[in-house]
Amino acid sequence: MSTTTFLINGVSDALISPLDRGLAYGDGIFRTIRVINGQPIAWQAHYAKLLADSRRLYLPCPEAASWQEDLGRLFADQGDGVAKLILTRGIAERGYAVGDHAIPTRIVIRSSLPLYPDRNASHGIRAYLCKTRLAHQPLLAGIKHLNRLENVLARQEWSDTVISEGVMLDQDGLVIEGVMSNILIRSGTILATPDLERCGVDGITRQRILAIAPSLGLIPAITSLTLTELMNADEVLMCNSLYGVWQVVDFNGRTWPLGQLAGRLRQFLQE
């Protein structure tokens, strides 16, 4: 186990009530943020997303300063690691109705950066095609909420450590995302990523890459993405806020030569 510390509503050594709706119903949202030298990377984008997600669930979100104060305390050593922010609807009586008195629970957890093999970045990764398919729920699509059983089931499908990520399709067989990542494909000068209006998490790193694309001579596109289109792409990329970008070089019976896009994007994302 890595060293993990956390604050709950700003209190260290506090814990969560079993009556918290985050536990009872997964009634909350979260963020996973890379921290370098005590600084949360892309903080503005992460907080904007936290706020947007909270609004979609009618969840009151604490102001940025509260989160930043927590982050400052947990990373007072100016160290590196991962900050996980969780916001739940708070403690409530049993039952789905949201009471007037619930005070949201603000959780910030510091942990070590996962030990991803260096070769994932330098040589690309092998990915697995998950059998678990994502359900269509437009009301929750895009939100990084605490209802993640589909991802849990998908991640249980493989244990071989040579596989670094799983590709998830939706109920119609369209490509949506990775278990812990978003997906992008380059076909010529088009950089496409699946539409997430019906399922999937609209991640910050995906958003940042779409914004960067034109400066790399690429045309960003949000599309319905079939598995065939992905298999025929010139490059397949996966991304999240912790590892940045990896190229998929081995997936579903095809291999791809290592290209330069993943590395270039990693550089941009660190700037």
Show which residues are catalytic. Answer: 32, 144, 177
Q: How far is the CB of 168 from a copy of itself (least distance, A)?
A: 11
Judged by CB under 8 A, the stretch of 69-77, 136-144, 216-224, 227-235 that binds a copy of itself is 136-144
Asked whether 130 and 169 are in contact (CB, 8 A), the reply is: yes
Please identify, among the stretches 69-77, 83-91, 211-219, 229-237, the one whose residues bind a copy of itself according to the rule CB under 8 A. Answer: 83-91
- Residues 139-168 close enough to bind a copy of itself by CB under 8 A: 139-140, 145-156
Tokens 């008195």 appear where?
101
Kindly tell me which of 12 and 44 has the beta carbon lying closer to a copy of itself: 12
Count, residues in the chain = 271
Question: Under the criterion CB under 8 A, does residue 188 sit at the interface with a copy of itself?
Answer: no
Q: Report whether 141 contacts 114 (CB < 8 A).
A: no
Please give the residues from 100 up to 129 whose contact with a copy of itself meets the rule CB under 8 A: 107, 109, 111, 114
- Binding residues with a copy of itself: total (CB under 8 A): 59
Let me know if 51 is exposed, middle or buried by CB neighbors in 10 A (0-12, 13-18, 19+). middle
C-alpha dihedral sign at 112, 114, 115, 116: negative
CB nearer to a copy of itself: give 82 or 233.
82
Query: CB-wise, 16 or 231, nearer to a copy of itself?
Result: 16
AA letter at 28: G
Nearer to a copy of itself, 45 or 57 (CB): 57
Residues 224-263 that bind a copy of itself (CB under 8 A): none
Can you tell me which of 10, 26, 220, 263 binds a copy of itself, judged by CB under 8 A? 26
Interaxial angle between packed helices 204-212 and 261-270, expressed in degrees from 0 to 180 and rounded to the nearest 10: 110
The rounded distance, in Å, linking the Cα atoms of 88 and 30 is: 9
Q: 187 with 232: CB under 8 angstroms?
A: yes
Please say whether the beta carbons of 191 and 219 come within 8 A: yes
Question: Looking at residue 14, what DSSP letter applies?
Answer: -
Residues that bind a copy of itself (CB under 8 A): 1-2, 4, 6, 8, 15-27, 30, 32, 57-58, 82, 84, 86, 88-89, 93-98, 107, 109, 111, 114, 132, 135-137, 139-140, 145-156, 171, 179-180, 199
